[in-house]
Amino acid sequence: MGKCMIIGCGGVASVAIHKCCQNSEVFEGIMIASRTKSKCDALRDKLQPTTKTVIETAKVNADNVDELIELINAYKPDVVLNLALPYQDLTIMDACLATKTNYVDTANYEPLDTAKFEYKWQWAYREKFKQAGITALLGSGFDPGVTGVFSAYAMKHEFDEINYIDILDCNGGDHGYPFATNFNPEINIREVSAKGSYIENGKWVETEPMEIKRVYNFKGVGEKDMYLLHHEELESLALNIKGIKRIRFFMTFGQSYLTHLKCLENVGMTSIEPIMYEGKEIVPLQFLKAVLPDPATLGARTVGKTNIGCIFRGKKDGKDKNYYLYNICDHQECYREVGSQAVSYTTGVPAMIGAMMIMTGTWNKAGVYNIEEFDPDPFMQALNKWGLPWEEDFNPVLVD
Ligand code: NDP
């Protein structure tokens, strides 16, 4: 069917690459292009004997638009799947525009120095992508990603209007370390140490970090503490889903994680302000990343399950209705299949599916779109087929 260029070769990319190789009918060729080429080569050497997908590799600095353009022009992919870091979103979008190539990512742009993620920078590319006749699919991971597809599906099939959405992201996995992050520590810590926020009646309501706590009993996992966080899909879902009065995002954290984080924060280790250390400028958070366990090594030791989904409250045929859509994913099963834990798996699988939707022309409209702006049905089918089956509950326990 076509060729896909994957930028980045970290935890999420590794899963997406495994999944592309399982799906050779669509992904006839992939190019893995990242900062450290040896990681791309190692993955190619592992996977090439197992797949018909032809795997090529390249070194690229995705902060450099000209380098990206040269590589895209040489490989001529149908789509570029950006699985590097959010800081590279705009340079990769610029290179896609210059080469008229479709674009998919899993996280919205965040300037390196402000720890503030929002869609305005990427939405500013709408007209340019439309005129170039290419698609940018934003946020094709799990959250954002599957949570948007779930919302579009609930809107299409279960509701006339959705008034309340609570997105619940539960990781019941245990890696045995007192403190480690399940994906890129810098991105993860920036996210959880920021102020919380949610949208109510069209306005953002801000909270202190971890100020709002609830306890929820998750199927497949059990009872967990969860905390309200700011999360990027709130911004797009509040605009794209009809009738929204309030939308919130909760993520589970264990006490050990929070105690360590508080301590690291108190001593300044989570700061993104550069400091001078022995004549060299360093960013404390980046230094912390260097001493923490690499998320890529957690897979083998992580046991337990994730449960991520959305609870919807709204109206159908004039009556109140509640509906919960979620996926349960087992860390060890993921590890057996692709050598990664469930947090990378639940992001990498939808990333492959998003790229597939564009490559097959199943989703085909020029411009810049969030995932909930497309027909959810083919994506929902693909989730069941490619390892993230979903479950539904028509009488869920609600979050107060
Ligand atoms: P990793 O840090 O494991 O991987 C990032 C990869 O990008 C690394 O291979 C890194 O190279 C490469 N990279 C970084 N900077 C550059 C650059 N300038 N040029 C080329 N390559 C570069 O991160 P994850 O795999 O955990 O996360 C990947 C993305 O997925 C992030 O944007 C994250 O926010 C997003 N994400 C989304 C989720 C969702 O549900 N939507 C959930 C989890 C993550 P090197 O190997 O040299 O370090």
Distance 99 CA to ligand 1 centre (A): 23
What is the Cα–Cα distance from 2 to 54, expressed in whole angstroms?
Answer: 11
Q: Is the CB of 37 under 6 A from ligand 1?
A: no
Q: Encode 6-67 in three state secondary structure.
A: EECCCHHHHHHHHHHHHCCCCEEEEEEEECCHHHHHHHHHHHHHHCCCEEEEEECCCCCHHH
CA distances from 26 to 9, 211, 308, 377 (A): 20, 45, 27, 18
The secondary structure element, H or E, covering residue 226 is strand 222-228
The answer on pLDDT for 112 being more than 70 is yes
Confidence class for position 50, pLDDT limits 50, 70, 90: very high
pLDDT at position 190: 79
pLDDT digits (tens, 9 = 90+) for 113-168: 765 678 999 999 999 999 999 999 999 999 999 999 999 999 999 999 999 999 99
pLDDT at 297 exceeding the cut of 90: no
CATH superfamily of this structure's domain 146-340: Dihydrodipicolinate Reductase; domain 2 (3.30.360.10)
Q: Does any ligand 1 atom lie closer than 6 A to the CB of residue 107?
A: yes
> 11 CA to middle of ligand 1, Å?
7
Read off the pLDDT of each residue in 321-337 and give the average, rounded to a whole number. 97
Q: Which two tokens stand for residue 384?
A: 């069941």
Query: What is the pLDDT, as a whole number, of residue 115?
Result: 59
Say if ligand 1 is within 6 A of residue 36 CB. yes
Task: Report domain extents, the chain.
Answer: 146-340
Ligand 1, residue 144: give the atom nearest the CA: 41
- Give yes or no for residue 12 CB within 6 A of ligand 1: yes
Ligand 1 center–CA 10 separation, angstroms: 5
Q: Which two tokens stand for residue 45?
A: 């050497």
Q: Quote the pTM value.
A: 0.94
Q: Which sign, positive or negative, has the C-alpha torsion 217, 191, 109, 338?
A: negative
